[in-house]
Amino acid sequence: MKIDEILKKNCSEPFDCIMKAKSIFLYTKSLKDYSRVNQVLVESNIPHHTYRYECEKPVKAILKNIPASFTEEAIQLELNRRKFPVTKVKQFTKKHKGQTIKIPIYLLELKRNNNGNQIFNLNNLFSFPAVIEKFNPRKRPIQCFRCQQYGHSQSCCNNPTRCVKCGLPHRSNECTMKPEDKPKCIFCGENHVSSYRGCKEYQRKLEKKNLQQQQKPPTLNEANFPSQMKATVTGNLPQQSIWVPHELTEKNFFDGVRMCSSHLIRHNVEPFLDKLVTGDEKWILYENIKSKKSYCRPGTSSATVPKPSIHERKVLFCLWWDRKGLVYYELLKQGKTINVDLNCNQLDKLNAAIKEKRPALASRNGIVFHHDNARPPTAMVTQQKLNTLGWEVLSHPRYSPDIAPSDYYLFRSLQNYLTGKKFKSFESVSKAVADYFNSKDEKFYKTGIHRLPERGQQVVTNNGTYIID
């Protein structure tokens, strides 16, 4: 069947037909005619590609703040149950040392109707505070994965298949090329794949697309926005760098998100904070110098504060606590530090303190023990000791004091209490620490423990980066 016969038979309204080079451009007047013509062209196996009507294009949105452990099928089923017309869910991935790692970002496609547009009002999913953002496609030429031509997508293509590697008429995933064989570009014939961004054809398409973007008229808001105000809003502001505990690697980011996601899911299904016992260590200085801001007259200098010596007198403070209060603590004398033997001895004393102060928790044999990842607590002997005690150890990402309750809560409060104080003896330090903890009630400890899920959610939201308070 000829193309003109197809159009006359299936178009109920007039249409436009434009000849360009070796192509014919058809412009139908209605969605009904468009669907009919496209269906006949596909059935007649006539090579062509098309574009979706605006009303047929799906609503695309980005879903964040949901742990990467949730599958695409689970998310689609839950959203469909909540009356969102989701047709497709795609989880983003990234490459790390040759492995594909799933990340907690999902692309949603929904039918373009009232319920589809309501997805941007979604604020929670699976009891997590979901974040929905508008999908912004990459500003680069679109390339079809079927025929490798630019300007349209695979979903709207009925052209003959071309391999991105060798250029032959078969799908790219069916190519039998060996690693030592040289690829061939279908555009320039050089030895690279047809999707290579260094290809002359790609550079030409990119330059054309950038030119079109530059020539695009500004929106009403941009045209009427004062240039002075625009420069003020979009300008960069000077900011000082922020110290962080460690330079995290990609694996650290991934481990942080994975562990925190696991803890959040568990907390929603089976809350465990009432069984949590957490511990950590902190150096306490004999002289806790306080630096204050001062206001000076022009030409005068501010007050001076002596710089602390690197060999200052200090003692190591070790403590373990839960949502009800302090369970056990030790103040090591000057010059003494943690080693494996001392740590195991401390765990025995902690176990005895739990049986005395938390008999109900000890009798249930359901203690969830949380500690940092410093070497003595994670040594093999210490792990064996914890197994002997029968405690469950809550996983903790390396170099992550920002999600350790002692670091982000209790030690900060203790340091504020100690700042400005000077001690002359070990006994005076011990008395100050005892006075501090005697002044705290159960609500204080409960607040610190119950911030743990919130901190974990921040790590997931920040994709594993440090929480900056």
| DSSP-derived secondary structure for 153-188 | -GGGB-SPP--TTT-SSS-GGG----TTSPP--TTT
Burial of 370 (0-12, 13-18, 19+ CB in 10 A): buried
pLDDT of residue 293: 58
Tokens 């300007």 identify what position? 151
pLDDT of residue 337: 86
14: containing domain = 3-44
pLDDT of residue 234: 43
pLDDT of residue 228: 38
Does 434 fall in a domain? yes
Q: Are 259 and 128 contained in the same domain?
A: no
pLDDT of residue 227: 38
Does 23 fall in a domain? yes
For 162-201, the pLDDT digits (tens) are 999 999 999 998 999 998 899 999 999 999 999 999 999 9
Select the more confidently predicted residue: 284 or 35.
Answer: 284
For 57-67, the pLDDT digits (tens) are 889 999 998 89
C-beta separation of 169 from 47 below 8 A: no
Q: Are 10 and 130 contained in the same domain?
A: no
Question: For residues 332 and 330, what is the distance between their CA atoms, to the nearest angstrom?
Answer: 6
Query: Residue 383 — pLDDT band, cuts 50, 70, 90?
Result: confident
Reply yes or no on whether the pLDDT at 217 is more than 70. Answer: no
Domain end position, chosen among 109, 134, 159 = 134
Does 10 fall in a domain? yes
Does 94 fall in a domain? yes
Reply yes or no on whether the pLDDT at 215 is more than 60. Answer: no
For the question of whether the overall pTM of this predicted structure is more than 0.75, the answer is no
For 81-136, the pLDDT digits (tens) are 999 999 999 999 988 878 889 999 999 999 987 778 889 989 889 888 889 998 98
Domain end position, chosen among 134, 160, 185 = 134
Reply yes or no on whether the pLDDT at 31 is more than 60. Answer: yes
For 294-303, the pLDDT digits (tens) are 555 665 656 6
Q: What is the mean pLDDT of residues 386-411?
A: 92
Query: Residue 304 — pLDDT band, cuts 50, 70, 90?
Result: low
pLDDT of residue 91: 94
Does 214 fall in a domain? no
Does 210 fall in a domain? no
Does 231 fall in a domain? no
For 309-366, the pLDDT digits (tens) are 556 889 999 999 999 999 999 999 888 888 888 989 999 999 999 999 999 888 876 8
pLDDT of residue 368: 93
Q: How many domains does the chain have?
A: 3
For 413-469, the pLDDT digits (tens) are 999 999 999 999 999 999 999 999 999 999 999 999 999 999 999 998 888 888 987
pLDDT of residue 70: 92
Q: Are 40 and 126 contained in the same domain?
A: no
* φ/ψ bin of 420: left (φ > 0), alpha (ψ from -120 to 50), beta (otherwise): left
Reply yes or no on whether the pLDDT at 289 is more than 90. Answer: no
State the CATH number of the domain containing residue 126.
Answer: 3.30.70.330
Q: Are 276 and 393 contained in the same domain?
A: yes
Q: Are 425 and 451 contained in the same domain?
A: yes
Q: Are 255 and 130 contained in the same domain?
A: no
Question: For residues 185 and 163, what is the distance between their CA atoms, to the nearest angstrom?
Answer: 9
pLDDT of residue 374: 59
pLDDT of residue 308: 59
Burial of 244 (0-12, 13-18, 19+ CB in 10 A): middle
Instruction: Output the average pLDDT for the chain.
Output: 84
